[in-house]
Structure 1
């Protein structure tokens, strides 16, 4: 009998810590999808994805004649590195080049705006997939100054994701935690606390998400200022979503609630 080749197939190591931009991201996704809070009809009327070898190109056309494209080179192109370039028309000033490098115990990311006076953002995180420390800073070449500086800690377990972030040059403290209520992580409860240190203004928000079935998700949040927001997302087809949102202030029930509708269609 021939020798087994299993010994040559070692298990892959942990993917390492997340990038700093992912700290607290799960909380935002679960208690409310901020991308679906539009109060007016927002329709992505055309979106196409093309893949060739190690490159992926995604193009999107909205009803307001805005064209957005992203070219991504995955980790197979350059080990542990993900590179992407995005452009937007007619608002070409928002075009960016991003590079992310992930190792077993570190994650680095940088992005450069593709315009005459670019803002350069750099972030780094060290640790593991369970706990990590990170920081992010932004340098504006137009004013030769640092406009943003943030730092934080990220913690993850089988049933929860938590983070504490000090942003706005140390003036804004945000602590959030997501608790998954089932093994599939389709139901979640979330709490988020923010404090603006210069004014001592606090905001406590609780919320969560509930998957009714494989196509329908309901999300809601309520803060201590009385703002209640909810959204129902229905996946019409793979990568195509219809979202109906509503919001009102529980302390001003005499005011007319706001209703929103968003539709994203991938062709």
Structure 2
């Protein structure tokens, strides 16, 4: 339902994407291959210091069913089976990991013109239950989420938020960490034609009276080149340049400088995504 409210997990997502998406300070390589018949293969590798971590995943689509299987460096196998429209406006997903027999989980999403509900339950004798809901419209939505641990009979999360979306700006306010933090975020499209946008996120902790913030911006230099920059409250400055050197194939360079680390060199990252 494109005109309905977004899921609660997407409140403030536009700001988060501008400030964090594609920033990478390691060496990352991704190869995506699509095949006729609904089968796709993705290989990802990340080098952190001298350690190499990678995984191979396959995605198969047939009608309303999607099967995603991923194998990581430690030979763990993660499987997710998603079924759309098993009932009208409803999506379901069953996921589990091998050899972890306690990793089974069932997710259900219900989409409506004025409401979105997401629920999750672990398939264990003492499951963790999670429920998130948002009501309103595509422009204005109000939502919340709770998590309950049946083993300890305690709440693991309790958050609430409000999201306002317009054509040239978006703002959100989230009360999180069981009421201990308040996060406000805002993004404004300064020049939609040239892709110029600025965003800010501020967090206040009621228990310690601490404030933290991050501000940033993005600019499309040409149809194939994007640059971004951000500044955090701790003085760290990060920059990113992304180039689509061929259709759907991206090369991204990232850098971060910490003025407080006098003897520490800047961090650099390189990411290459290929889609033949």
Is TM > 0.5 for Structure 1 vs Structure 2? yes
Which structure carries more strand by proportion?
Answer: 2
Instruction: Answer yes or no: is 1:37 the counterpart of 2:24.
Output: yes
Instruction: Answer yes or no: is 1:59 the counterpart of 2:69.
Output: yes
Q: 1:90-143 deviations in whole A, cap 9, x for unaligned?
A: 566555321111111111111123445432110111111111111111001221
Between the two proteins, the alignment pairs up a number of residues equal to: 253
- Equivalent pair of 2:25/2:267 in contact (CA under 8 Å): no
Alignment-derived partner of residue 23 in structure 1 = 11
Deviates more, 1:216-225 or 1:194-203: 216-225
Q: Give the direction of change, closer, same or farther, for the CA distance of 1:65–1:153 in structure 2 (3 Å limit).
A: same
Instruction: Answer yes or no: is 1:211 the counterpart of 2:199.
Output: no
Instruction: Answer yes or no: is 1:198 the counterpart of 2:185.
Output: no
What is the CA-CA distance between 1:54 and the residue it aligns to?
0.8
SS in 2 for 1:28: helix
Q: CA RMSD in A?
A: 2.9
Q: Give the direction of change, closer, same or farther, for the CA distance of 1:45–1:143 in structure 2 (3 Å limit).
A: closer
Q: Give the direction of change, closer, same or farther, for the CA distance of 1:23–1:246 in structure 2 (3 Å limit).
A: same
Instruction: Answer yes or no: is 1:252 the counterpart of 2:257.
Output: no
Cα separation, 1, equivalents of 2:228 and 2:243: 12
- Equivalent pair of 1:108/1:123 in contact (CA under 8 Å): yes
Q: Give the direction of change, closer, same or farther, for the CA distance of 1:242–1:48 in structure 2 (3 Å limit).
A: farther
Q: What is the aligned counterpart of 1:83 among 79, 84, 92?
A: 92
Instruction: Answer yes or no: is 1:120 the counterpart of 2:120.
Output: no
* Unaligned segments of structure 1, at least 5 residues: 1-12
* TM-score, normalised via structure 1 length: 0.81
Q: What is the aligned counterpart of 2:233 among 215, 224, 228?
A: 224
Cα separation, 2, equivalents of 1:214 and 1:66: 39
Q: Give the direction of change, closer, same or farther, for the CA distance of 1:265–1:140 in structure 2 (3 Å limit).
A: farther
Cα separation, 2, equivalents of 1:234 and 1:73: 35
- Equivalent pair of 1:16/1:104 in contact (CA under 8 Å): yes
- Equivalent pair of 1:105/1:127 in contact (CA under 8 Å): yes
Cα separation, 2, equivalents of 1:203 and 1:53: 46
- Equivalent pair of 2:194/2:221 in contact (CA under 8 Å): no
Q: What is the aligned counterpart of 1:170 among 156, 164, 179?
A: 179
- Equivalent pair of 1:229/1:246 in contact (CA under 8 Å): yes
Counterpart mapping for 1:123-202 below 5 A: 123-183=132-192, 186-202=195-211
Cα separation, 2, equivalents of 1:241 and 1:96: 34
Q: 1:181-218 deviations in whole A, cap 9, x for unaligned?
A: 34468442111110111001101210123334455433
SS in 2 for 1:31: helix
* Unaligned segments of structure 2, at least 5 residues: 29-43, 46-53
Cα separation, 2, equivalents of 1:175 and 1:137: 20
